[in-house]
Structure 1
Amino acid sequence: MKKKIFTHKEVSKKISILKKNKKKIVLCHGVFDLVHYGHILHLNSAKKFGDFLIVSVTSDKFVNKGPGKPLFSQFQRMHYLSNLEMIDGVILSNTASAIDVLKLIRPNIYVKGPDYIKTRDDKTKKILLEKNLVKTFGGEIKYTEDKAYSSSSIINSTGLIYNQDQRKFLDKIKTKFGKDFIINKINELKKLNLLIIGELIFDDYNFGNIIGKSGKEPHLVFEKKFNEIYVGGSGAIARHLSSFLKKIYLISFFGKEAFYNKILKQNLNKNIQFLNRKPNKNFKSIVKSRFVDINSSYKMFGSYLLPDEINSQYYLSLKNDIKKTLKKIDHIIIADYGHNLLPKTISDLLIKSKKFVSVNCQINSSNITHQNLSKYIGVDLFVINESELRYDLRDKITKIETLMKTFSKNQKIKNLIVTRGKNGSIYFGKKKFYYCPAFAIKSVDKVGAGDAMLSLTSSLLRNKIDPQIALFVGSLASSIIVQSPGNKVSVQSSNLERIIEFILK
Structure 2
Amino acid sequence: MNSKVVKLEALPEVLKPLRITGKHIVHCHGVFDVLHLGHVKHFRAAKKYGDVLVVTITADEFVKKGPHQPVFTADHRAEAIAALEIVDYVAINKWATAMKTIELIRPDCYVKGKEYREHGDDITGGITFEKTAVEAGGGTIIYTDEETFSSSNIINKHLPILSDEAKSFLTTFTSRYTEQNVFEFLSRPNAFRVAVIGETIIDEYQYGRSIGKSGKEAIIALKHVETELFAGGAVAIANHVASYVDEVTLYTAFGANDEHADFLHRKVLPNVRIERILKKESPTIVKRRFLESQPMVKLFEMYEINDDPLDLDQMQEFMTLCSDLDKFDMVFVADFGHGLLSKPLIDFVTAKARFLAVNTQTNAGNTGYNTIGKYSSVDYVCIDEPELRLETRNRYGSVEELIAVMTKTTRSRKVIITRGLNGCLGFSEREGYVKVPAFASTVVDRMGAGDAFLSITAPLVAAEVPMDVIAFIGNVVGAIAVGMVGNREPVSKIPLQKAISALLK
Please state which band the TM-score falls in when normalised by the shorter chain: over 0.9
Alignment gaps of 5+ in structure 2: none
Deviation track 1:124-178 (CA, whole Å, cap 9, x = no partner) reads 2211111121111211111212112211122222343212111111222222121
Amino acid at match of 1:363: T
* SS in structure 2 of the partner of residue 253 of structure 1: strand
* SS in structure 2 of the partner of residue 174 of structure 1: helix
Matches of 2:23 and 2:89 in 1, distance apart? 14
Percent identity over the alignment is: 33
Alignment of 1:3-22 (within 5 A): 3-22=3-22
Amino acid at match of 1:496: L
Amino acid at match of 1:349: F
Alignment of 1:101-180 (within 5 A): 101-180=101-180
CA shift at 1:353, angstroms? 2.4
Contact conserved, 2:102 with 2:134, CA < 8 A, in 1? yes
Amino acid at match of 1:264: L
Matches of 2:476 and 2:286 in 1, distance apart? 27
Matches of 2:183 and 2:442 in 1, distance apart? 25
Amino acid at match of 1:378: S
Corresponding position of 1:379: 378
Alignment of 1:338-349 (within 5 A): 338-349=337-348
In the alignment, is residue 455 of structure 1 matched against residue 455 of structure 2? yes
CA shift at 1:259, angstroms? 5.9
Contact conserved, 2:199 with 2:234, CA < 8 A, in 1? yes
Matches of 1:265 and 1:322 in 2, distance apart? 19
Corresponding position of 2:504: 504
Amino acid at match of 1:47: K
Matches of 2:371 and 2:63 in 1, distance apart? 42
Corresponding position of 2:27: 27
Corresponding position of 1:351: 350
In the alignment, is residue 402 of structure 1 matched against residue 372 of structure 2? no
CA shift at 1:322, angstroms? 2.1
Matches of 2:248 and 2:119 in 1, distance apart? 32
Deviation track 1:281-315 (CA, whole Å, cap 9, x = no partner) reads x3210000001111122110001011244332111
Taking a change above 3 Å as real, the CA distance of residues 386 and 327 of structure 1, as seen in their structure-2 partners, is closer
CA shift at 1:492, angstroms? 0.6
Amino acid at match of 2:319: K
Taking a change above 3 Å as real, the CA distance of residues 308 and 2 of structure 1, as seen in their structure-2 partners, is closer
Deviation track 1:323-364 (CA, whole Å, cap 9, x = no partner) reads 2x2243111110111112101111112222251111110122
CA shift at 1:495, angstroms? 1.6
* SS in structure 2 of the partner of residue 204 of structure 1: strand
Deviates more, 1:495-504 or 1:78-87: 495-504
Amino acid at match of 2:414: N
CA shift at 1:409, angstroms? 2.1
Corresponding position of 1:64: 64
CA shift at 1:395, angstroms? 2.0
In the alignment, is residue 318 of structure 1 matched against residue 295 of structure 2? no
Amino acid at match of 1:394: R
Contact conserved, 1:238 with 1:248, CA < 8 A, in 2? yes
* SS in structure 2 of the partner of residue 352 of structure 1: helix
Corresponding position of 1:418: 417
CA shift at 1:2, angstroms? 7.1
Matches of 2:266 and 2:129 in 1, distance apart? 27
Taking a change above 3 Å as real, the CA distance of residues 93 and 256 of structure 1, as seen in their structure-2 partners, is farther
CA shift at 1:257, angstroms? 5.3
Contact conserved, 1:251 with 1:275, CA < 8 A, in 2? yes
In the alignment, is residue 203 of structure 1 matched against residue 203 of structure 2? yes
Corresponding position of 2:251: 251
Amino acid at match of 1:307: N
CA shift at 1:388, angstroms? 1.9
CA shift at 1:188, angstroms? 2.2
Deviation track 1:439-461 (CA, whole Å, cap 9, x = no partner) reads 12111221111111111111001
Aligned Cα root-mean-square deviation (Å): 1.6
Taking a change above 3 Å as real, the CA distance of residues 105 and 440 of structure 1, as seen in their structure-2 partners, is same
Matches of 2:170 and 2:359 in 1, distance apart? 27
Amino acid at match of 2:422: N
Contact conserved, 1:455 with 1:474, CA < 8 A, in 2? no
CA shift at 1:229, angstroms? 0.3
* SS in structure 1 of the partner of residue 255 of structure 2: coil
Taking a change above 3 Å as real, the CA distance of residues 197 and 82 of structure 1, as seen in their structure-2 partners, is same
CA shift at 1:429, angstroms? 2.3
Matches of 2:294 and 2:270 in 1, distance apart? 36
Taking a change above 3 Å as real, the CA distance of residues 290 and 37 of structure 1, as seen in their structure-2 partners, is same
CA shift at 1:478, angstroms? 1.5
Deviation track 1:6-45 (CA, whole Å, cap 9, x = no partner) reads 0123322111111111111111111110111111111111
Alignment of 1:41-120 (within 5 A): 41-120=41-120
* SS in structure 2 of the partner of residue 223 of structure 1: strand
Deviates more, 1:255-264 or 1:411-420: 255-264
Alignment of 1:410-449 (within 5 A): 410-430=409-429, 432-449=432-449
Taking a change above 3 Å as real, the CA distance of residues 429 and 92 of structure 1, as seen in their structure-2 partners, is same
Matches of 2:398 and 2:272 in 1, distance apart? 41
Contact conserved, 1:53 with 1:88, CA < 8 A, in 2? yes
- TM-score normalised by the chain length of structure 2: 0.96
CA shift at 1:491, angstroms? 1.1
Deviation track 1:47-73 (CA, whole Å, cap 9, x = no partner) reads 111111110011111111011101111
Matches of 1:425 and 1:77 in 2, distance apart? 34
* SS in structure 1 of the partner of residue 331 of structure 2: strand
Contact conserved, 1:481 with 1:489, CA < 8 A, in 2? no
- TM-score normalised by the chain length of structure 1: 0.96
Contact conserved, 1:255 with 1:285, CA < 8 A, in 2? yes
Alignment gaps of 5+ in structure 1: none
Amino acid at match of 2:276: N
Amino acid at match of 2:184: N
